[in-house]
Amino acid sequence: MKENHKYSLPVLLYHRIVNEQSVRGKHKIYVWEKDFEKQLLYLKNNGYEAITFYDVERNPTMDLRNKVIITFDDGYEDNYRLLFPLLKKYNFRAVIYLVTQIGYNAWGVKEGEPRVDMMTDVQKREMCVYGVEMGGHTQTHVDLSRCTDAELVKEIGDCRADVERLVNKKVISFAYPFGGISEKVKRATKEAGYKFAVSTNTGPKEFGADNFQIRRIEVTPKTSLRSFKSKVSGYYFYPSFIKSFFTGKQTK
């Protein structure tokens, strides 16, 4: 069967930016600062615009070509210390999904990860004023697919209220921790007032086909620049098309 090579807005998934060996962690939910800067430079040199879900909500029929959504999960301190300066340097924006009731990665520490503090409220507000979108990521980073109805209301809805109090604006997007998702979880997210929700690597290939299970593309320390170019091409989910897509395309 012939693939339908339909362009899909790339939604990238990151967690942490690091520049020291000692803070990497075993789960490899990080990218090196120098590699991330190379990725931003590629986007800049090739005319990409980093948009947020607020842009999509305001203009749902906008042309999505040469655009990308850069997302970070959890709200780690290095997002302010290392990510934020690079966003400002290249005039890009991002979306950060906040865990609102824990000050460090308690769930990761249980699995042997190094303890990493979250951003302070002051840091989050500063990034929001710049143009970074803050979204919800539950209050305590739980697997929502295992939650009761009451727990879903608290973890999803109360998280949204937490973020709105913090940034003093409507919060419209949410990220499911651990990729824990079901139709019940998606319903609860919609009922909590969100307009968009992102998964990890599940959901339709086409952006907009299901606004409550938007598939993301993970960037890891093993992602080469060549692989990154493929991931932001808009055709990443159609590997057989990638080679022809890049023929003649600028690859600075």
Write the CATH number for 107: 3.20.20.370
Residues with Cβ within 8 Å of residue 230, at least 6 apart in sequence: 236, 242, 246
Q: Does residue 6 sit within a domain?
A: no
Q: What is the pLDDT of residue 251?
A: 41
Q: What does residue 91 show for φ and ψ, rounded to 5 degrees?
A: 60, 45
Specify burial of residue 113 (Cβ count, 10 A radius: 0-12, 13-18, 19+). middle
Q: Does residue 5 sit within a domain?
A: no
Q: What is the pLDDT of residue 243?
A: 63
Residues with Cβ within 8 Å of residue 246, at least 6 apart in sequence: 229, 230, 233
Q: Does residue 82 sit within a domain?
A: yes
DSSP state letter for 17: E
Q: Does residue 252 sit within a domain?
A: no
Q: Give the position of tokens 């990497």.
A: 24
Q: What is the C-alpha to C-alpha distance for residues 222 and 120, in angstroms, rounded to an integer? A: 29
Q: Does residue 39 sit within a domain?
A: yes
| Residue 200 domain boundaries | 11-246
Query: What are the beta bridge partners of residue 149?
Result: none
Tokens of 212: 């409550």
Q: Does residue 137 sit within a domain?
A: yes
Q: Residue 149: how many CB atoms within 10 A of its CB?
A: 8
Distances (CA, A) of 144 to 26, 130, 148, 157: 24, 31, 8, 12
Q: Give the position of tokens 């362009």.
A: 7
Q: What is the pLDDT of residue 246?
A: 62
Q: Structurally, how many domains does the chain consist of? A: 1
Distances (CA, A) of 223 to 1, 228, 239: 29, 6, 16
Cα 30 from chain centroid (whole Å): 13
Which regions of the chain are under pLDDT 70?
Answer: 1-5, 242-252
Q: Does residue 251 sit within a domain?
A: no
State the DSSP H helix or E strand holding residue 67, giving kind and residue range, or none if neither. Answer: strand 67-74
* 82-97 core/surface letters (b: 16 or more CB in 10 A; e: else): bbbebbeebebbbbbb
Query: What are the beta bridge partners of residue 68?
Result: 50
| Through-space distance between the first and last CA atoms of the chain, rounded to whole angstroms | 34
Tokens of 151: 């727990």
Q: What is the pLDDT of residue 179?
A: 87
